[in-house]
Structure 1
């Protein structure tokens, strides 16, 4: 039995701790704030194997740069002199081509498909009440032009990734989801997707881990590694372990020097609004594709979220972004006038190739990195935890880790 410290108490760190604990190891989980907070709490809760395509699609860089002066744009880059951001965008632009998109898509799909299966296994084996539902994910379109244009994406996903969607046009769309407004052009349903309430998942992980002997240390920041990597210096003193797993999400670049690498993560700020379920509530999770806004109906609430804001490590709430979410949703649904329970933001850990890092630190052989999951941390958490547990237990990982190597940067 090894003594292992997981740095980062988000969903990826929690999943790593869970699978390592199943292998019989002794676990401590550290978080600079609180376990299950930050990006793992207020996201839209999608577990979406349909999201195989990376952000680096042909033409994506043109869209990104065109949004620099549009504060309400779904994809917004705050104009500023930041050489790390501009370097990231340059590398991103180089990958906005068909070849790189397809290669990354297949590598992402391997993680998503495995993780979707692991969710079914996890929820069948463990006492986890996270409002899990397998109702699919419905992409909704206002205009006929946009609805039919999506046929190209559907053909790509069907022919290249075996990920077909079911089309619903006009009245058929309203029969499928009566909460939608009349007059919408149509939608495409991915039946294999699922959703859950993220904060409830994290509460369940906390209970399982601690009841089985794990220690959770909150408000504990990590300054670096000590000596040959046998210990870490933290705000609560030095901690020793046989292995360390760095699952620090968007904060990972602050440990780059300590890890002996240059992980190019930019924080992509996403927003959400949570409120009680409206009287006319959708039954299926929705993405309003023309506005890039998502809606998640949960047993205990209703969440509108999404958008992508590259504004650095800015801790303020951009009121324009929150207003955009509600205004965009009004095109598709009757306005939800219930009182808002929470306005939230989180930093997604965005890599310029849309793939995570699941690899050993180049500097310390006993330190592993599990970070950079972009917008898919919740979807990829179980498979990441499983892969880390396999690697630290000296077993061959069930997915090739080479595409997720830190050496690619």
Structure 2
């Protein structure tokens, strides 16, 4: 058994008397609670709704080291503007009088160059590769029932020039991040994945990526933490933090207070709404996404896939199929637009042979916590000596959660961190 296995299996008794409150019960907050519990801390997780009900619930479940590159890449602005001219574009931006969104968009645009793209990639990729290894250990050691599968991830194309142009991205990922993709010709692709229609021209296949069911991961992980003594408080929003001599000693919630020694803010897209409480601004914008979940069709893909030309993702599970897409910068609009759901199914039918079910198990929308450099904040909050922030994971919260949780556990324990934390500093903006 390796040292890493020892750390996964056993909690340390060293910090038993210290209490940590984690605000936010999504996958990042749960991961923080997990590693803090292993470090011997008493842990309480607080959520304003239900544990695991936010963005962690309805995503497509990818664990993807291949997603090392940020959204702000060379050519991203041109692609975005062209896409937005289409009536059914997956991208929608409605800044209006939202000054913070205008500032965010400006800073995003300034990073659409090769140097900043590579800088962000070098920050993103270590979290992804660390989390992949940690997931393998977590699922095995804690028997998390989440349909974990190392089936890879395919980028499937129907346009030859778009397919060929991805070769430059493959070269970059291969050279700088050791994330090579297999190039499938049309014949190879249809042989590998016969669920696809014959008009597709090829695919790029990242065979080392994985996927899981995020809702079942959160349920199973929560149950594991409950058995290990972690406490959960639901339906309680953070309304204030009591401070003594530069340190927080109590959180004020909707109808109760909790005293603790350390605090973690893992509130995803909602983090900017805590600016007055934290006395610090994190430039996160909510990026709205949609998904639909349905029973598995008769001829179902076995491999998760993305259709890059239409920005739609497909994830097969044991009994269901999920389609996900869209990036809408329109604030916290909780309405589920039927046109967006219809777009998901229309694109999927364009690529998949089988007739898709017309009845859905679930329709969903949620908000991704988007930073303009595609990199999360994992750091102590500058305005408090004992409050930590773990937020801004963009579309990769599930993929980055274990590595983030482990870093937070190491920071609060005062241990050397397993990754360099400089790229995730709160004061970099």
Q: 1:272 aligns with which of 280, 291, 295?
A: 291
CA contact (8 A) 1:277 1:297 kept: yes
Cα separation, 1, equivalents of 2:47 and 2:88: 32
Q: Distance in 2 between matches of 1:309 and 1:70?
A: 14
Query: Post-superposition shift, 1:328?
Result: 1.1
How much is the aligned-residue C-alpha RMSD, in angstroms?
A: 1.2
Aligned partner of 1:261 among 246, 269, 280: 280
Aligned mate of 1:223, from 228, 231, 239: 239
> For residues 80 and 385 of structure 1, what CA distance do their matches in structure 2 show?
36
2:262 counterpart residue number: 243
1:302-325 CA-to-partner distances (Å, cap 9, x unmatched) read: 100121111101111122211111
Alignment check: 8 A CA contact 1:294 1:304 kept:
yes
- SS in structure 1 at match of 2:58: coil
CA–CA distance in structure 2, aligned partners of residues 256 and 81 of structure 1: 19
Match of 1:304 among 323, 333, 345: 323
Aligned partners of 2:304 and 2:316 also within 8 Å: yes
- The alpha-carbon deviation at position 81 of structure 1 amounts to 2.1
The one-character-per-residue Cα deviations of 1:216-248 (angstroms, maximum 9, x if unpaired) are 111000012112310111102121100000000
Q: How far apart, CA to CA, are the structure 2 residues paired with 1:271 and 1:90?
A: 25
**2:309 corresponds to:** 290
Residues 16-51 of structure 1: CA distance to partner in whole angstroms, max 9, x if unpaired? Answer: 001100111111100000001010111000000000
Residues 244 and 368 in structure 1, CA contact (< 8 A), matched pair in contact too:
yes
Q: Counterpart of 1:156?
A: 172
Give the deviation of 1:351 after TM superposition.
0.3
Deviates more, 1:256-265 or 1:353-362: 256-265
* In structure 1, C-alpha distance between the alignment counterparts of 2:189 and 2:120, rounded to whole Å: 32
Does residue 95 in structure 1 map to residue 111 in structure 2? yes
From 315, 334, 340, the counterpart of 1:321: 340
Separation in 1 of the partners of 2:29 and 2:312?
27
Aligned to 2:183, the other structure's residue is in SS state: strand
Within the alignment, does 1:365 sit opposite 2:391 as a pair? no
Q: Which residue of 2 aligns with 1:130?
A: 146
- Of 347, 356, 371, the match for 1:351: 371
Q: Deviations over 1:75-114 (max 9, x none)?
A: 2212522111100000101111000000110111111111
8 Å Cα contact 1:354/1:374 also seen in 2? yes
In structure 2, runs of 5+ residues without a counterpart are 1-15
Q: Which residue number corresponds to residue 188 of structure 2?
A: 172
Residue of 392, 398, 405 corresponding to 2:418:
398
Alpha-carbon offset, residue 268 of structure 1 = 0.3
Give 1:332's aligned residue: 351
Residues matched between the structures, number: 409
| Residues 124-156 of structure 1, C-alpha deviations (whole Å, 9 max, x = no match) | 111211001001001000011111111111111
* Paired residues of 1:165 and 1:188 also in contact (CA < 8 A): yes
TM-score (norm 1): 0.98
SS in 2 for 1:227: strand
The superposition leaves residues 142-197 of structure 1 with CA deviations (integer Å, 9 ceiling, x where unpaired) of: 01111111111111111121111001111110111011111210001001100000
**Which whole-Å CA distance do the structure 1 matches of 2:262 and 2:163 have between them?**
50
CA contact (8 A) 1:65 1:77 kept: no
CA distance in 1, matches of 2:35, 2:398: 15
| Contact 2:95–2:101 (CA under 8 A) maintained in structure 1 | no
2:398 alignment partner, one of 363, 368, 378? 378
Q: Does residue 212 of the first structure (1) align with residue 231 of the second (2)? A: no
